Amino acid sequence: MRFPQPRPPIFTFRTLRALLSKTPLIPSIWQSNMSHSAMARRLSGKTIVITGASSGIGRSTALEFARTAPDDLRLILTARREDRLNEVMAEIRAEVGPGVKVLPVRLDVSRSDEVRGFVGGLPEGWREVDVLVNNAGLVKGVARAPEIAEADVATMFDTNVTGLINMTQAILPIFKTRPDGGAGDIINIGSIAGREPYPGGSIYCATKAAVRSFTDALRRELIATRIRVIEVDPGQVETEFSVVRFYGDQSKADAVYAGCEPLTPDDIAEIVVFAAGRRENVVVADTLVFPNHQAAATTMHKKS
């Protein structure tokens, strides 16, 4: 006769987590966020810089990284509006707890001197950057040549192009000290506007086309390294983007989205985090993302 053999207790991750959640040392709201997916394991321990993290896609990207790897992550959040960065930091802390360390840094990417001092100004323990998300960017106006304000041309090029290039050049030396020629991720937020120029957007489109050229050239330049160069090109996303375009006029911004269902900034954030969370040999090099009603830069279906 065979008797069932006594079996050692089996501790799956689920039971361990259930046990842990009974300990008062770690609040249960943060326990429920503990994630050990392959993506969480790959991102865990990384230091991530996000430009333009005070709003829209940058803010959502910060939150999405935090949710995906809540146990051990460092996020360096940069933008000009420090108060907004502090709000994002508080949101992250409330949602995922202390496993994600956040460093808000006031930084105007259009100022070459500020970008030059950025890495040197980071505190000890924050300089080993693994991922740079070049997201800061803007559009000003809908003027057509020859009516385009000189100041708007300068702001768009200084921010979207020179700022992105300067940030990349500031971080790349850190990546290049690593084995195999270097390692790390550069994720550039381009736009459908960089692929398809449209009337009233000539300067913005030119800046995003420049981002595209720089990104493609960089990927080729870094071919003998393990550095991943990634571009994500959104179509229409509802953020503060149109409010900035119309110099703060909310009603003009609202009219852009009337009758449409634009993407949310979270939609783009999920794609950025997905790209960063792939196995190191996988490069999601180039992604174009539309909402369902959009098929080209200016081909949209409006319901009314």
Where do contacts with ligand NAP occur on this chain (CB under 6 A)?
A: 51-52, 54-58, 79-81, 84, 107-110, 135-138, 159, 189, 191, 234, 236-237, 239-241, 244, 265
Tokens 């050229």, residue located:
213
Q: Which of the following is catalytic: 46, 140, 176, 208?
A: 208
In angstroms, give the least distance from the CB of 238 to ligand NAP: 7
In angstroms, give the least distance from the CB of 7 to ligand NAP: 54
CA-CA distance, 238 to 129, in Å (whole number)? 29
Q: How, if at all, do strands 294-296 and 299-300 pair?
A: antiparallel
Q: Helix and strand tally (H, E) in the chain?
A: 12, 9
CA-CA distance, 193 to 214, in Å (whole number)? 15
Q: Catalytic annotation on 22?
A: no
- Closest residue by Cα to residue 79 from 46, 57, 99, 97: 57
- Closest residue by Cα to residue 191 from 117, 241, 250: 241
* Structure tokens given for 100: 């994600």
Nearer residue to ligand NAP within complex by CB, 138 or 283 = 138
In angstroms, give the least distance from the CB of 179 to ligand NAP: 32
Q: Catalytic annotation on 204?
A: yes
- Sheet of 286-289: strand order equals 100-106, 73-79, 47-51, 131-134, 183-189, 226-234, 286-289
Q: How many CA atoms lie within 13 A of 189 on its CB side?
A: 27
In angstroms, give the least distance from the CB of 74 to ligand NAP: 19
The Cα angle at residue 62 between residues 58 and 66, in degrees rounded to 5: 165
Nearer residue to ligand NAP within complex by CB, 41 or 106 = 106
DSSP secondary structure of 80-105: S-HHHHHHHHHHHHHHH-TTEEEEEE
Residue 29, classed as helix, strand or coil, is helix
Helix 202-221 to helix 164-176 angle (10° resolution) is 10
In angstroms, give the least distance from the CB of 245 to ligand NAP: 9
Residue 235, classed as helix, strand or coil, is coil
In angstroms, give the least distance from the CB of 63 to ligand NAP: 13
Residue 22: how many other CB atoms lie within 10 Å: 8
**Residues 6+ positions from 5 with CB-CB distance below 8 Å:** none
Q: Which of the following is catalytic: 176, 204, 247, 252?
A: 204
Nearer residue to ligand NAP within complex by CB, 92 or 109 = 109
Question: Which of the residues are catalytic?
Answer: 204, 208
